[in-house]
Amino acid sequence: MERGLLTPLKKLRRQVFVEVARTAFETERDELKDAIEAIPYKITPGDKPLYRESIWRERAICAERVRLALGLSLRPEDAPVHVTSGLRGSDIADKYYEPPLMQVIPSACAACAPNLYKVTDNCRGCVAHPCTAVCPKGAVSIRNGRSVIDQEKCIRCGKCKSVCPYDAIAHHTRPCAEACGVKAIESDELGRAKINNDKCVSCGMCMVSCPFGAIADKSQILQLIRALRRGDKIIAEVAPAYVGQFGEKATPCKVKAALLAMGFAEVYEVALGADMGAAIEAEHYAESVATGKLPFMLTSCCPSWAMLIKRYFPESADKISRTLTPMVATARTIKKKHPDARVVFIGPCAAKKLEASRRTVRSDVDFVITFEELSAMFEAKGIDPETIEDCTEINDATGAGRGYAVAGGVAGAIEKCIAAYYPDTRVDIQHVEGLEDCRKILLLAKMGKLNGALIEGMGCPGGCVAGAGTNIAVGKAAAQVKKTVAESAEQVPPKELAEVRLD
């Protein structure tokens, strides 16, 4: 599904976040339950459905989206459970995510055929009918002058499709499964999609690929807003992919001003932590990989990539850079300067939500929200980043760190640092994007065919700018990031940044 389009599905998802955020901002705790129970009726008013066969199904689906937006799990389908069941335990400012992060809403799933070849109306009933000749199982026959595929005999090899001169045979796949690079999408007993959590690495590509909005992730906006209303000192760290995400006129300084108007105490660029990581990984490469002490080095910043390695290629896990991810490095820098503050990471990535919930990271990052969720918070609060005034500059990082947001940017930043710090060191850069290609390159590395390489992996095709929580088209976002990198006053962080201790 094309990213960046403002589809009815995108609008519905946005409405849920806006209403949950508005309720969290405006409603007192003793009235919260009733206000949340009313949200599905606000979003789907009246008695005529817009997208489904009944208004009741639309509201049921909306109610499940509301629960996920509150950080709650889906309700059972065979038991009477209120939308707000479990709210008391979730309506606190100190709650982390409970896996699974990604969930399929059964009532929203259309039970798409997972793998099916079907003859369309384009069939001309030609005399040659090569589709019948090429089928190894005799599954294609001619009936009433047209090709027909016997699904019980079909082995889904696709040979019939490849030889049809009229492109009359369509290959139907389940969009969510097609987007999943680790084959985590399976089927339940009713043919609906379900996620195998033992395989899933929480990249969120299934969520953005489902045209029915049947897959959604949990949010932490209720908990973050509760902390803001409580008066906590909360500092925002914003991922490098944020440029352009909140409107063409929303410059970096305007985004910072909008966040300050929201109630955040200060705003930092996560590119600061990326600069630290690039400096450290340049040192690691020069001292360990270039000298042959380590066969190859794997970047660590993408949580889905790191999870993929640990789950599917455990023998290579010790090759993952031990450098703190930019999110964590920036958070620790913030808490070193502001020990009384709490930190919210704002970025494009769904998987960062689970990274922040890990035991070793919990004390560093208190909240994670996506650009999509922040946009809803701005709308609920009546803040427009494009028109806000009193703009204050944000300048914590160099072009190297800001480039982390696009595929190849991490390895490129490290390469720049190596060239600046260790000019006599030759570097072999490899980078891949999308989990399927990530698996392929990890297999090559395992076989010893990439020794001496610095390997960057990005779970989302396109890099962070293509994350599940972004607002604009991937190409447009990448162009904005590259423009910001080019305009950065400094292109490479100082070598001394590698010596900063954040343990």
pLDDT, tens digit, 9 for 90 and up, residues 160-184: 999 999 999 999 999 999 999 999 9
Q: Helix, strand, coil shares of the chain as percentages rounded to 5? A: 45, 15, 45
Domain topology for 115-173: Alpha-Beta Plaits (3.30.70)
Residue 499, CB-side half-sphere exposure with 13 Å CA sphere: 3
* pLDDT higher at 421 or 354: 421
Each domain of the chain, given as residue ranges in start order, spans 8-109+182-218, 115-173, 223-499
Structure tokens of 210? 């489902």
Bridge partners, 498 (sequence order): none
Q: Which residues pair with 368 in a beta bridge?
A: 345
Tell me what pLDDT residue 224 has.
Answer: 96
Backbone angles phi, psi at 408, to 5 degrees: 90, -10
Q: What is the DSSP code string of 207-265?
A: HHH-TT--EEE---HHHHHHHHHHT--EEEEE-GGGTTTT-TT--HHHHHHHHHHHT-S
- Residues above pLDDT 90, as percent of the chain: 90
The reported pLDDT for the residue numbered 470 is: 97
**C-alpha–C-alpha distance, residues 495 and 144, integer Å:** 75
Provide the percentage of residues in the chain whose pLDDT is more than 70: 99
Q: How many whole angstroms separate alpha carbon 142 and alpha carbon 134?
A: 13
How distant is the alpha carbon of residue 263 from its chain centre? Answer: 26
Please write the tens of the pLDDT for every residue from 76-100. Answer: 988 899 999 999 888 887 776 778 9
pLDDT on residue 498: 81
Q: What is the pLDDT of residues 112-128, one digit of tens each?
A: 988 999 999 999 999 99
pLDDT bin (cut points 50, 70, 90) of residue 157 is very high
Give the integer Cα–Cα distance in Å for 416 and 404. Answer: 12
pLDDT at 315 > cutoff 90: yes
- Compute the mean pLDDT over every residue in the chain, rounded to the nearest whole number: 94
- pTM of the complete model: 0.93
Contact 352, 345 (CB under 8 A): yes
pLDDT over 90 (residue 501) = no
The confidence score (pLDDT) of residue 1 equals 65
What is the average per-residue pLDDT within 55-65? 96
| The pLDDT value given to residue 39 | 98
Pairing of strands 146-149, 193-195: unpaired
- Residue 490 — very low, low, confident or very high, per pLDDT cuts 50/70/90? very high
Model confidence at 503, pLDDT cuts 50, 70, 90, reads: low
